[in-house]
Amino acid sequence: MTDFLNALLSGAGFGALYGLVALGLVVIFKSTGILNFSGGALMAVGGVVAAGLGAQGFWIAAGIAVVAVAGVGAVANLTVMRPLLGRGLFPGVMVTIGLTSVIEGSSGILFGRQPRFLADPIGVPTFQLPFGTSMSSTLAVAFGLSAAATALLAVAFRRTSVGLQLRAAAVRPEVAAMFGANPGRIFTYAWAVAGGLAALAGALLASLTVADISIAAFALRAFAAMIVGGVDSLGGAFLGGILVGVTELLAGTYLGDDFRLPSTMVVLMVFLMVRPQGLFGTPEVVRP
Amino acid sequence: MTQSTSLAPPLARPRAAGRRTVLAALAVAIIAVLPLVVSPYWTTVATNAALAFAIAAPLNLLTGNAGQFSLGNAAFLVVGAYTGAYVTFTFDLELPIAMLAAAAAGALVGLIVGLPSLRLRGAYLLMSTLAAHYILVFAALKFQTSQFGAAGAIFPPLRIAGVDLSGERSMYFVIAVFAALIGLIIANIMRSGHGRALEAVKARDVAAAACGISVARAKLWVWSLTSAMIAAAGVLQAYYLGSASVEYYTLNLAITYVAMILVGGLGSLGGSLLGACFVTLVPVGVNHLSDAYGGEGGGILAYPHELQTVIYGLIIIAFVLLKPDGLIGLVRSATDRVVRVRQGR
Amino acid sequence: MKGSLPGELVIDRLGLRFGGVVALREVSLTHHPDEVLGIIGPNGAGKTSLINAVTGIYPPSAGSVRYRGTPLTGLSPESIVATGIARTFQHNQLCGDLTVRENVLLGCHLRLGYGVVKAALGIGPARRAERRLRGEVEPLLELLNLEHAADERAGSLPYGLQKRVEMARALALRPTTLLLDEPAAGTSDADRAALVRIIKHLRGEGSCSVVLIEHDVGLVMEVSDRVAVLDWGECIVVDTPEVIATDARVLAAYLGVDDTHADVSESA
């Protein structure tokens, strides 16, 4: 029972991290239609940057990493992503894969190969909870930050003019442009937001485990989170992340650690087969 | 229709049959003579390129011609390698039989992995191949642990009918012959009505159905056939590497083959060949640079691995943005120019 | 299919809806052998929806379609094609990267006569079949004046030519009934004249009956034996062109006099 509850708690925490990355994927997919494979690299480089600034404490280091990686996202959009608008799935996926390579390689060249560590966001390493359960404080912070980021973004999408333009640009870029929206600038915002969210996840993961460019692989679960939640739903990305994280930790607890990643992929496959629009996404209406 | 023309350089153009024969004869001559004139090092490079082609070409038929964007190829390789290893070790069979068994397993698994393509398209279909990759590799891991032990399957030196073929040069010939066979089969399909049907399935599935083409059947056979070829190649690859272990069959490996068809040219057999050679040569080139100028205080050349990663990424980005029809597009425009000059236009 | 008589298509109380949107409501129509049946109607009347429902692209939500006694409802698009019904599309559905000839050859797919294995081995039967089919499409390319463009990429052709390639591809199926969806839309006067010639040719040859969906009412009146008028998803009248031309309901439909169905949105 304690194992079960612990798995739920940690799963929710890890899931919130996947949710952060997935949120970035959704923002980009929603506005530009590009399926971004570089979420993991953005996350990992965020972790590496934050850990490099570890002497400043978690929050300052993470803040700088978020801003820096948001910049990387914006630059990526301005240089290589923008020409791809409207060119379909394959080019976008391949360029973001190329981007992943460039980011990962550059990170090694710029920051070295040695793994780094980052302090916990708050002094207490773990929270002791009822029924003998406990939760890593970093995961609890991750959960809170992820929920807050999702809520903030959801409000921003609905209430602010940038959010409105993002939504409009997603549906009909040419119409949005007609009404004065500047899709180019808006897509840059989308990429910056995605970069920042990924970096935040990276910093949290760095303080949980270790900051190394190889943590990029963690973000694969973000794809599952994105599909489970629904590719165009922000809240869905968060809840999808939680569902994927909890599945993963339960599989890890009861089946063995090597079942963790495959279990998330099974969830992904099941959703694709049974409910491809996810929990909260809009079903695709196919009409020729 | 979401995956429209971006995935779609033209099918083989109508060419004089005579020119094709000449090209084929030339290719055979080059393949046969190559290891006799180059150093063993370059024979190794050529072997790697031939093997890469044997995997990239079926992938290109699936992705470039039929429009089924897949990241499942590394998983098909491991399915092939382990089926091959299992039948070889258990029944003491020869390589060709092991490859046939691997192809059969690959065809079956490919059929299953292709099933989602009947309901999903675009990003969703791609995600399903991603999930399939991890699920299959995990299954392979469990199979490896139970059958071969933690280190994976160790392959004996290659012998066919009692003849030792494990030397670098004989390995090269075995792999080159297999690659040529794959190339021939794919060329035949692309030239046939079934190849045309694939183009229709990719570009216009509604129109394909209106021509009486069963889109579902076309998708399933192409998934099945290409996976069978990749699985068969997986056996050869494992023999060549001497062992097969799941750590080798990563998503990055799968992406490497996609990069080859992108760089070479989607939907083109010649493109698969050029892409396979090019991507095989990138690390070779970087290592040479690094050996020559790297070392102590060699700046970024002191990071050959990272540098390779960056260059590889830049190549992918550059081709998508600047040369979406790939190297074969360069070759085509060059030959067109030559033809035009010769005709005095 | 060669040599068989052109067919009879019976559409019985066909209904089609997308969610709350009604595209077709109890449409009943009979297409007699040998005749050219024109279907006209204002934008959004359901003309294209009717073709899509008949050819199985959208499963109808009510009613049935029979072709020479065979029920088509529930069959897949490719099985419906195999019964002898071919179609063209309102918006071109050519494979832009294939040549014109290859596009027309796609229409021969049901007569390939060899499987993937034979194709892969590149052996005699496959090669002979390809030669035979290439011979078969030549007369079609000629009929539609496409010989000079046969080796061009279909995507590089002007719109009017592309429409003719579509028709050649549909005819390559050797249909007994041909459904043409707005073949004249966006084409030149010359293309239009060619279209009239071809429809009359098919009519005269008697190998294939034609259902013509068209916005150009004049064209429909010129070539059709009978004309059906669709409005708001309903078939309001079917009669000879002469009668249709003077029918008040048709006029009302086109002028939008009757606005009581304004809650039903477009779906063509």
Evaluate if residue C157 carries a pLDDT over 80: yes
Per-residue pLDDT, averaged over C228-232, amounts to 88
Instruction: Kindly report the nearest CA distance between residue C261 and chain B, in angstroms.
Output: 31
- Helix, strand and coil content of chain B, in percent to the nearest 5, comes to 80, 0, 20
- Most confident residue range from A25-39, A159-173, B221-235, C40-54: B221-235
Q: What is the pLDDT of residue C5?
A: 58
Evaluate if residue A65 carries a pLDDT over 60: yes
pLDDT in tens, B139-173: 999 999 988 888 888 888 888 888 888 888 889 99
User: Is there a contact between A288 and C52 if contact means CB atoms under 8 Å apart?
Assistant: yes
- Most confident residue range from A155-169, B171-185, C232-246: B171-185
Residues C19 and C62 in one domain: yes
**CATH number for the domain including C264?**
3.40.50.300
- Neighbouring chains of C at 3+ CB pairs under 8 Å are A, B
Smallest Cβ–Cβ distance between C130 and the set B11, B192, B211 belongs to B192
* Average pLDDT value for chain A: 87
DSSP string, A161-176: HHHHHHHHHHH-HHHH
Instruction: Kindly report the nearest CA distance between residue B146 and chain A, in angstroms.
Output: 15
In chain B, whose CA is at the least distance from the CA of C151? Answer: B14
Choose the CATH number for B5-249 among 3.30.200, 1.10.238, 1.10.3470, 3.40.50: 1.10.3470
Residue of A154, A160, A162 lying closest to A181 (CA atoms): A162
Per-residue pLDDT, averaged over A274-286, amounts to 77
Pair of tokens at residue B15: 């060419």
> Where does the pLDDT of residue A225 fall: very low under 50, low under 70, confident under 90, or very high at 90 and above?
very high
Lowest mean per-residue pLDDT among A90-104, B44-58, C187-201: C187-201
- Distance (Å, whole) CA A51 – CA A63: 12
The larger pLDDT score, comparing residue B21 to residue B252, is at B252
Instruction: Kindly report the nearest CA distance between residue B61 and chain A, in angstroms.
Output: 15
DSSP state of C109: G
Cα→Cα distances C90→A228, B301, C76, C182, Å? 37, 58, 20, 5
> Where does the pLDDT of residue A180 fall: very low under 50, low under 70, confident under 90, or very high at 90 and above?
low
For residue C181, the SS3 value is strand
- Distance (Å, whole) CA B343 – CA B108: 51
pLDDT in tens, B71-102: 999 999 999 999 999 998 888 888 999 999 99
pLDDT in tens, C100-119: 999 999 999 998 888 898 88
In chain A, whose CA is at the least distance from the CA of B322? Answer: A83
Query: Pairing state of beta strands C209-213 and C36-40?
Result: parallel
Residues C20 and C76 in one domain: yes
pLDDT in tens, A114-134: 888 888 888 777 777 777 777
Q: How many helices (H) and strands (E) does chain B have?
A: 13, 4
Q: What is the pLDDT of residue A72?
A: 95
Give percent of chain A above pLDDT 70.
Answer: 93
Q: What is the pLDDT of residue A179?
A: 65
Query: Pairing state of beta strands B159-160 and C62-67?
Result: unpaired
Evaluate if residue B215 carries a pLDDT over 50: yes
Instruction: Kindly report the nearest CA distance between residue C5 and chain A, in angstroms.
Output: 31
Residues C195 and C258 in one domain: yes
Q: What is the pLDDT of residue B156?
A: 85
- Distance (Å, whole) CA C241 – CA C227: 6
Could you tell me which residues are beta bridge partners of residue B164? Answer: B159
B182-197 per-residue burial string, b: 16 or more CB within 10 A, e: under 16? bbebbbbbbbbbbbbb
Evaluate if residue B20 carries a pLDDT over 60: yes
Residue of A226, A161, A160, A227 lying closest to A197 (CA atoms): A226
User: Is there a contact between C95 and B204 if contact means CB atoms under 8 Å apart?
Assistant: yes
In chain C, whose CA is at the least distance from the CA of A288? Answer: C57
Evaluate if residue B344 carries a pLDDT over 70: no
Residues C35 and C138 in one domain: no
Instruction: Judge whether C68 and C10 are in contact, CB under 8 Å.
Output: no
DSSP string, B300-337: GGG-HHHHHHHHHHHHHHHHHHH-TTHHHHHHHHHHHH
Q: What is the pLDDT of residue C266?
A: 39
C98 touches chain B (CB under 8 A): yes
Residues C17 and C123 in one domain: no
Could you tell me which residues are beta bridge partners of residue B301? Answer: none
Evaluate if residue A16 carries a pLDDT over 80: yes
Evaluate if residue C155 carries a pLDDT over 50: yes
Instruction: Kindly report the nearest CA distance between residue A286 and chain C, in angstroms.
Output: 10
User: What is the enclosing helix (H) or strand (E) of C40?
Assistant: strand C36-40
For chain B, the domains span 5-249
Evaluate if residue B5 carries a pLDDT over 80: no
Residues C193 and C140 in one domain: no
Residues C152 and C76 in one domain: no
Q: How many CA within 13 A on the CB side of residue A74?
A: 12
Per-residue pLDDT, averaged over C195-207, amounts to 86
Per-residue pLDDT, averaged over A39-63, amounts to 90
Smallest Cβ–Cβ distance between A88 and the set B7, B119, B306 belongs to B7
Asked if residue C123 belongs to a domain, the reply is yes
Give percent of chain B above pLDDT 70.
Answer: 92
In chain A, whose CA is at the least distance from the CA of B134? Answer: A262
- Neighbouring chains of B at 3+ CB pairs under 8 Å are A, C
Could you tell me which residues are beta bridge partners of residue C226? Answer: C37
- Distance (Å, whole) CA B238 – CA B82: 9
Q: In what order do the strands lie in the sheet with C226-231?
A: C85-87, C177-181, C209-213, C36-40, C226-231, C234-239
Instruction: Kindly report the nearest CA distance between residue A288 and chain C, in angstroms.
Output: 9
Smallest Cβ–Cβ distance between B206 and the set C76, C93, C105 belongs to C93
User: Is there a contact between A288 and C18 if contact means CB atoms under 8 Å apart?
Assistant: no
Instruction: Kindly report the nearest CA distance between residue C57 and chain A, in angstroms.
Output: 9
Residues found in chain C: 268
Residue type, B249: Y
Asked if residue C168 belongs to a domain, the reply is no
Instruction: Kindly report the nearest CA distance between residue A280 and chain C, in angstroms.
Output: 19
> Where does the pLDDT of residue B338 fall: very low under 50, low under 70, confident under 90, or very high at 90 and above?
confident
Residue of B280, B304, B282 lying closest to B293 (CA atoms): B304
Task: Give ipTM to 2 decimals.
Answer: 0.92
Backbone angles phi, psi at C239, to 5 degrees: -165, -175
Evaluate if residue A275 carries a pLDDT over 50: yes
Instruction: Judge whether B126 and B72 are in contact, CB under 8 Å.
Output: no
In chain C, whose CA is at the least distance from the CA of B215? Answer: C78
pLDDT in tens, C184-194: 888 888 888 88
- Neighbouring chains of A at 3+ CB pairs under 8 Å are B, C
Per-residue pLDDT, averaged over A265-281, amounts to 90
B1-21 per-residue burial string, b: 16 or more CB within 10 A, e: under 16? bebbbbbbbbbeeeeeeeeee
The larger pLDDT score, comparing residue B221 to residue C143, is at B221
> Where does the pLDDT of residue B297 fall: very low under 50, low under 70, confident under 90, or very high at 90 and above?
low
In chain A, whose CA is at the least distance from the CA of C93? Answer: A288
> Where does the pLDDT of residue B68 fall: very low under 50, low under 70, confident under 90, or very high at 90 and above?
very high
Q: How many CA within 13 A on the CB side of residue C195?
A: 32
Best to test chain C binding among B190, B192, B336 (most C CBs inside 10 Å): B192
Evaluate if residue C54 carries a pLDDT over 80: yes
User: Is there a contact between B193 and C98 if contact means CB atoms under 8 Å apart?
Assistant: no
Asked if residue C142 belongs to a domain, the reply is yes
A82-103 per-residue burial string, b: 16 or more CB within 10 A, e: under 16? eebbebbbbbbbbbbbbbbbbb
Per-residue pLDDT, averaged over B275-284, amounts to 92
Asked if residue C63 belongs to a domain, the reply is yes
Residue of B109, B60, B51 lying closest to B235 (CA atoms): B51
Evaluate if residue B15 carries a pLDDT over 80: no
Instruction: Judge whether C137 and C82 are in contact, CB under 8 Å.
Output: no
Pair of tokens at residue C252: 């009302």
Q: What residues of chain C lie within 8 A of the CB of B204, using their CB?
A: 93-95
Evaluate if residue B249 carries a pLDDT over 90: yes
For residue B167, the SS3 value is coil
Instruction: Kindly report the nearest CA distance between residue B316 and chain A, in angstroms.
Output: 5
Q: What residues of chain A lie within 8 A of the CB of C52, using their CB?
A: 288
Give percent of chain B above pLDDT 90.
Answer: 61
Domain that holds residue C263: 1-84+175-268
Distance from the Cα of residue C215 to its chain's centroid: 14
User: Is there a contact between B192 and C76 if contact means CB atoms under 8 Å apart?
Assistant: no
> Where does the pLDDT of residue C260 fall: very low under 50, low under 70, confident under 90, or very high at 90 and above?
very low
For residue C236, the SS3 value is strand
- Distance (Å, whole) CA A106 – CA C160: 52
Could you tell me which residues are beta bridge partners of residue C29? Answer: C11
User: Is there a contact between B321 and A83 if contact means CB atoms under 8 Å apart?
Assistant: yes
C57 touches chain A (CB under 8 A): yes
C196 touches chain B (CB under 8 A): no
Per-residue pLDDT, averaged over B168-189, amounts to 93
Helices marked H in B192-303: 193-203, 205-210, 215-241, 251-264, 269-293
User: Is there a contact between B262 and A265 if contact means CB atoms under 8 Å apart?
Assistant: no
Residue of B106, B64, B80 lying closest to B272 (CA atoms): B64
Could you tell me which residues are beta bridge partners of residue C10? Answer: C30, C66
Q: What is the pLDDT of residue A172?
A: 67
- Distance (Å, whole) CA C129 – CA C20: 48
User: Is there a contact between C122 and B225 if contact means CB atoms under 8 Å apart?
Assistant: no
C52 touches chain A (CB under 8 A): yes
> Where does the pLDDT of residue A95 fall: very low under 50, low under 70, confident under 90, or very high at 90 and above?
very high
Lowest mean per-residue pLDDT among B52-56, C93-97, C258-262: C258-262
User: What is the enclosing helix (H) or strand (E) of B160?
Assistant: strand B159-160
Q: What angle do CA A129, A130, A133 make, to 5 degrees?
A: 60
C89 touches chain B (CB under 8 A): yes
Number of domains observed in the structure of chain C: 2
User: Is there a contact between B309 and A273 if contact means CB atoms under 8 Å apart?
Assistant: no
Could you tell me which residues are beta bridge partners of residue C27? Answer: C14
> Where does the pLDDT of residue A263 fall: very low under 50, low under 70, confident under 90, or very high at 90 and above?
very high
Could you tell me which residues are beta bridge partners of residue B159? Answer: B164
Residues C144 and C249 in one domain: no
Computed from CA positions of residues C183, C186, C190, C192, in that sequence, does the dihedral angle turn out positive or negative? positive
Residues C5 and C111 in one domain: no
Instruction: Judge whether A39 and A246 are in contact, CB under 8 Å.
Output: no
Evaluate if residue B11 carries a pLDDT over 70: no
Residues of A with CB under 8 A from a CB of C: 285, 287-288
* Average pLDDT value for chain C: 85
DSSP state of C69: T
Evaluate if residue C255 carries a pLDDT over 70: no
